[in-house]
Each structure stands twice: as structure tokens, then as C-alpha cells.
């Protein structure tokens, strides 16, 4: 029946990219597996992914040698039922493409989320899903930029000062109509986020409100900040 067929092809798929080396954190292990209050960052991220409204499928993209969810590195990680785990690639874009290829075909909305943004509140996920469902081809959470930002040339000489009021620092999850993201990955490479690939195709990408807690754990200081947040300090 029409309604059942329609329902069968609607659902949210989340690709959680966790295959980065985390060399800037210097923990001697891939960043997503570094403990935060005794549990890997990836575990914290998946706790929230499990609560995403309309969730249908989750794919975790892990380093090739940590792609066995029964392995010791996965202690303290409780993926939502049915989660697939696949091996990542050399660049973040390669990892996203690997995750996208493994996603349940019944997902019409895809979110791509950095495991390193492990404390992103579920409300951010919900805002992104709602905006894609409302018709946007691509949606990113963003927050106002507090620093003045300069562009520079190869010598470090300033070439421009963009109007700060028009800038946003963007976060994840980034959400897309599935067909749009698949086309973007089929043609593009070398971007630092998925929205840039979608922008290159000429689609509008909408910014919704991000959240300070969606920061990316990159440095030792970021990890200490995350520890304070989960301790409620
Ligand atoms: O390196 P960066 O912090 O920008 O990575 C953002 C996210 O992308 C992290 O969660 C990281 O694990 C993931 N990533 C990946 N595969 C790569 C590089 C990064 O899954 N080759």
C-alpha cells in the first residue's frame, strides 16, 4: 500500500566517522577510542545517536584495526541495535563515503557526525533532521564566530577581513537528503566537511543553531574541558 511503501523508505541514517588518528591529541590511540570519564569518546557519541528521532540505521566508521565491535577497544561502547561497523579511509571524505555505502537503503535522510564531537546534544540532531525534512538539501549546525577572521596569502600577508557577522563556525551532525549526499561524494573530494561537497554541486545548505557542547575534541585541553562537562563542573 502507498503509505506502507512510503514509510518503508523513510528513516534517518547516521554515519559516525571515528577513523581519524587523533595525532593532535597525542594519546597513542585513535581519538574516538580515547577515554572520557572512563569510556571512549565514541561511546558517548553513540549514546546520543541512539536517541535521534526517526533513527533507522547507524554506521560507525572505525580504523581498520579497530573495526571489530567485539574487540577490547570497544569496552564501554554500547552501539544502538543493528549498528554496522566498517573500516575508514585515509581522508575523512573517504571514511564518510565508506559509511554511506554501508547505510540501510531505507534511509532517506543521512546525518554525518564526528565521533570527536562526542557531547553534541540530541537537540542539535533533531534541529538538523527537522530542517532536512522541511525541504533543505543540506543542513549544518553553526555558531557565531567570536574572533575576527583574516584570509592570508602564502607569505602570511592578509588578503581580506570577512564581515564577522556573516561567518559561522560549523559543527556536526551535518544532514542531507540521501541522494544529494551520494551525488556529492560521487563527484567530489578533498573537502573538510560534507556540506562543502554539496555546495559545490550548487545546492543551498542551511545553517541551524549549533551548540557550544558540539565542540570537537582535538587537543588535551579539549579533552579536559569535556571531562569537566561530564562531571558537571
Ligand atoms: O581529524 P578531525 O578531527 O578533523 O576528524 C573529524 C572526525 O573525522 C573524527 O571523528 C575522526 O575520527 C574522523 N575521521 C575519519 N577518517 C579519517 C579522518 C578523520 O573517520 N581519515
**CATH code of the domain containing 112:** 3.90.550.10
Segment 149-196, tens digit of pLDDT: 999 999 999 999 999 999 999 999 999 999 999 999 988 777 889 999
Contacts 24+ apart (CB under 8 A), 227-233: 227/36, 227/37, 229/119, 230/36, 230/37, 230/44, 230/119, 231/37
Which residue has a Cα nearest atom 3 of ligand 1?
218
Q: Using an 8 Å Cβ cutoff, are 64 and 21 in contact?
A: no
Which residue has a Cα nearest atom 19 of ligand 1?
20
| Distance in Å, CA 171 to ligand 1 centroid | 13
Assigned C-alpha cell, 54: 526517526
The parent domain of residue 45 ranges over 5-231
> What 3-state DSSP class applies to 187?
helix
20 lines ligand 1 (CB under 6 A): yes
2 pLDDT more than 80: no
Atom of ligand 1 lying closest to residue 96 CA: 20
Residue 179 and residue 176: Cα distance in Å, rounded? 8
- DSSP count for the chain of H helices, then E strands: 7, 12
Residue 152 β-bridge partners: 158
17 lines ligand 1 (CB under 6 A): yes
Q: CB-based contacts of 43: which residues, under 8 Å, 6+ apart?
A: 76, 77, 78
123 pLDDT more than 70: yes
56 lines ligand 1 (CB under 6 A): no
217 lines ligand 1 (CB under 6 A): no
Q: Residue 198 — pLDDT band, cuts 50, 70, 90?
A: very high
**Number of domains making up the chain:** 1
Q: What is the pLDDT of residue 27?
A: 81
133 pLDDT more than 80: yes
**Choice from 14, 17, 44 to test ligand 1 binding pocket (greatest atom count within 8 A of CB):** 17
pTM of the shown model: 0.94
7 pLDDT more than 60: no
Amino acid at each position: 500500500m502507498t503509505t506502507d511503501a512510503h514509510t518503508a523508505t523513510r528513516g534517518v541514517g547516521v554515519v559516525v566517522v571515528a577513523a581519524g588518528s587523533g595525532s593532535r591529541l597525542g594519546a597513542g590511540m585513535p581519538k574516538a577510542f580515547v577515554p572520557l570519564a572512563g569510556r571512549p569518546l565514541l561511546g558517548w557519541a553513540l549514546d546520543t545517536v541512539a536517541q535521534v528521532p526517526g533513527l533507522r540505521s547507524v554506521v560507525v566508521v572505525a580504523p581498520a584495526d579497530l573495526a571489530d565491535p567485539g574487540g577490547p577497544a570497544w569496552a564501554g561502547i554500547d552501539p544502538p541495535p543493528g549498528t554496522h561497523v566498517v573500516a575508514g579511509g585515509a581522508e575523512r571524505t573517504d571514511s564518510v563515503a565508506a559509511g554511506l555505502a554501508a547505510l540501510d537503503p531505507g534511509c532517506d535522510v543521512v546525518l554525518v557526525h564526528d565521533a570527536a564531537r562526542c557531547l553534541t546534544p540530541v537537540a542539535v540532531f533533531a534541529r538538523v533532521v527537522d530542517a532536512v525534512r522541511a525541504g533543505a538539501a543540506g543542513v549544518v549546525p553553526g555558531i557565531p564566530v567570536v574572533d575576527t577572521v583574516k584570509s592570508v596569502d602564502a607569505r602570511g600577508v592578509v588578503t581580506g577581513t570577512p564581515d564577522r557577522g556573516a561567518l559561522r563556525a560549523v559543527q556536526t551532525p551535518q544532514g542531507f537528503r540521501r541522494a544529494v549526499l551520494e551525488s556529492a561524494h560521487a563527484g567530489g573530494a578533498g573537502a573538510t566537511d560534507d556540506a562543502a561537497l554539496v555546495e559545490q554541486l550548487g545546492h543551498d545548505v542551511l545553517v541551524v543553531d549549533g551548540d557550544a557542547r558540539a565542540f570537537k575534541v582535538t587537543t588535551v585541553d579539549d579533552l579536559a574541558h569535556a571531562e569537566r562537562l561530564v562531571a558537571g563542573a
